[in-house]
Structure 1
Amino acid sequence: MWVSCPQTALLKAVQIVGRGISARTTMPILGYVLMETQKDGIKLTATDLELAMQVEVAAEVKQGGQLTLPARILSEIVGNLPAAIVEIKAPEGSTQAEISCESSHFEILGLPATDFPALPRTDGDAVGEIDADVMRMMINQTIFAVSPDETRPFLTGVYAVLDGAEAKFVATDGGRLALRKAQLPQAARQKIGVIVPAKAMQELARALAGVEGAVQLRMADNQLVFTVPGLRVYSRLISRQFPNYQQVIPQEFKQRIRVQTERLLRAVRRASITARDSANVVRLRAEGKKLTLTSNTPEVGKAREEVEVAAEGEPIEAAFNARYLMDCLNNIEADELFLELTGPLSPGAIRPAHHSDYVYVLAPVRVYS
């Protein structure tokens, strides 16, 4: 193997695939990056057996081949090289590679490339495609509602549904639920409803930053494969039944409050200062053109703030977890929103004021005056 490529492109690729490596593994090869030559470049792959990241880098290939190198060492070396051409050489059949860039030279030991786990075939059953920027937004607007509780694995991922011309991403931890819908550029080739682990979705969203075009989705060997030119993400699926989320979403309300998102976010953030030691509870009550937020921790103090709103319906006072509110407000990407309430002990719903593609449902907190 003998290739050369720009340090900046190689570093970006190494950093992306490195996110697919787990710090806790009993298989040494899972701490290594597989490098394979292609016609006009090299392909880097890393996996923890649940998630695999694969990036293609344009390079001059003088001799074909494949090798593995330790991910941490490779990242440190490439990250500290100057922004110049990096050359990687390894004799055929050898596990030792030479990395050179200007006056810097390294000799690094790898493991046999044949030890690296085989990935599912990339020509699996086509599912459909979603615009990269839309997919990143759909992930960011739902993933914070995923549960970290491993005893309920069906809640530890994002439920991805493609059906006809519509895609839905849903996440819930039992105390809140986020649902984002989007229209597909073309109808899905097959209907799917699968649970994708949170880590895979998180790394996919990070890798899609700045990417243009459509993300192709394919099913292969109980894995969902996401592909854009130069990038492929493989994710093992969670083989459980996702709960019936539709029955959780309120279909009516007794009070609806229209408010500027940024103004409400700032108010909740300030009110949460005196709520941290009392389960992070913030109370809300709107009447006419005024929404009042209060929080109180006897050992710390209390806060009160008024926000200008437009409220319709009967006044309702409800209490919610401030962090849950801020998670939504930080990601809703809408200048104005509707907060819909049906009662002090009933779930509330937050929706963008100008479209119906997103809804966030959160359970109230029972408080005693």
Structure 2
Amino acid sequence: MRFLAERDYLVKTLALVGRAAQARGVGSSTRSGIKFVVDGNLATLTATDIDTTIITTMEVDGKENGSGVIPSRLMTDIARSMPEGSVSVVVEDDKAIIEAGRTHFEVQIYPLETFPPTPDITGDEVELPAKSLSEAISQVVRSASDDEVRPVLTGVLLSANETSLRLVATDSYRLAIRDLTDTKAISSGTQVLVPAKALHEVDRMAESQGEDSIFLYMDGLHARFRIGNTSLTTQLINDSFPSYEQLIPKEFIQTIKVEKSVILEAIKRMRLLVRDATTSVRLTTDDGGLELAVITSEVGKAVERMDGDIEGEATSTSFNPQYLADGIEAVIESEVMIRVPEKGKPALISGVSDDNYRYVLMPVRVS
């Protein structure tokens, strides 16, 4: 195998596909490598950690067809360090030779025959609007858990009815829901649980590829997302997502409408005094408007008042500041609505004119 590629193009492609490679240090195996297959002037790159597989293609100046598995992180670091211009990549025997200008690297490669096979998914392809799906993914994945002890909470639920697709994620402290109206990706009544990490990569791919559509294939075990010349295949989580509908509050004693940018900047300032996960931000309302406060015996106190449209009873509720900021930041509109039920029950965050995105946030108990 031998080909030439422009450095910046090569680095961008390696960074894209390499995110699926197993982290270095987990074990010296082909799963920490990128498989190259050169056929004419087209190179196909594949990386996998078994759970997730990314495949993409790039145009190259092909000199000799062939294949090889090169360590992902090392290959990317070497390519990034090269001078501008063309980079030569040659695989022969048990090594890869990488050259540019007067720089020469020789890297031991992995056995091609031990590289994991790509999952074979059959079924109909469904076309989804890339912008809307990417937006929905970015809104909900932040609420998924990263604790592998409860795998079901590390996933995002995709469920469908006759007219819409719903994405749901929770880590048991907050719950994010996004409805994509007039969108059908799976059969009505069907529910699948997709790893949040995989969907996060789909979101990044959609942003970098700039395509109008995302194509989705699914079977009972896997989901494959194709964007332009790149595809991501992930194993589905074989578990039942927790019942969540009853957690969405329906009755409220107060509604707060406030400019999104104003309250986010205030939370950012309040967090300067936050030193650990036990420190909360207190949200208080009265006739004069809205107040945020953080009080810690070890550091000090921060208070900020702001204007807002307040309806209902005066309240005082404490929240995890990071979780509060996450929910508000995910609102697409410039104005955010925070609806507060009776004390001790979760608040509901959404846009003012559109509730296709809803964020349920548990309060923090403060002694």
- TM-score (norm: length of structure 1): 0.91
Equivalent residue number for residue 359 of structure 1: 358
Equivalent residue number for residue 30 of structure 2: 29
Map 1:1-369 to 2 at 5 A: 1-23=1-23, 24-26=25-27, 28-38=29-39, 40-91=41-92, 94-122=93-121, 124-126=122-124, 128-183=126-181, 187-188=184-185, 190-191=187-188, 192-210=190-208, 211-220=210-219, 222-276=221-275, 279-288=278-287, 290-368=289-367
CA-to-partner distance for each residue in 1:138-163, whole Å, 9 max, x for gaps?
22211221112222211012222344
The answer (yes or no) to whether the contact 2:291–2:303 under 8 Å persists in 1 is yes
Per-residue deviation, 1:166: 2.0
Name structure 2 gaps, 5 residues minimum: none
One-letter amino acid of the structure 1 residue matched with residue 102 of structure 2:
S
Which deviates more from structure 2 when the two are superposed, residues 325-334 or residues 47-56? 325-334
Provide the secondary structure at the position in 1 that maps to 2:149: coil
Provide the secondary structure at the position in 2 that maps to 1:142: helix
Q: CA RMSD in A?
A: 2.2
**1:110/1:290 Cα in 2 relative to 1: closer, same or farther (>3 Å)?**
same
Per-residue deviation, 1:174: 0.7
CA-to-partner distance for each residue in 1:219-265, whole Å, 9 max, x for gaps?
24611111011211111111110012222111232211110011111
CA-to-partner distance for each residue in 1:157-186, whole Å, 9 max, x for gaps?
2222344442222111111111122235x6
- TM-score (norm: length of structure 2): 0.91
CA–CA separation in structure 2 for the residues paired with 1:359 and 1:337: 11
CA-to-partner distance for each residue in 1:347-367, whole Å, 9 max, x for gaps?
100001132221111011222
The answer (yes or no) to whether the contact 2:2–2:89 under 8 Å persists in 1 is yes
One-letter amino acid of the structure 2 residue matched with residue 240 of structure 1:
D
The answer (yes or no) to whether the contact 2:51–2:234 under 8 Å persists in 1 is yes
The answer (yes or no) to whether the contact 1:127–1:190 under 8 Å persists in 2 is no
CA–CA separation in structure 2 for the residues paired with 1:189 and 1:273: 44
**1:194/1:306 Cα in 2 relative to 1: closer, same or farther (>3 Å)?**
same
CA–CA separation in structure 1 for the residues paired with 2:43 and 2:148: 37
Per-residue deviation, 1:13: 1.1
The answer (yes or no) to whether the contact 1:289–1:310 under 8 Å persists in 2 is no
**1:278/1:207 Cα in 2 relative to 1: closer, same or farther (>3 Å)?**
closer
Per-residue deviation, 1:36: 1.0
Provide the secondary structure at the position in 1 that maps to 2:113: helix
CA–CA separation in structure 2 for the residues paired with 1:201 and 1:278: 26
Percent of aligned positions with the same letter in both sequences? 30
Name structure 1 gaps, 5 residues minimum: none
The answer (yes or no) to whether the contact 2:156–2:169 under 8 Å persists in 1 is yes
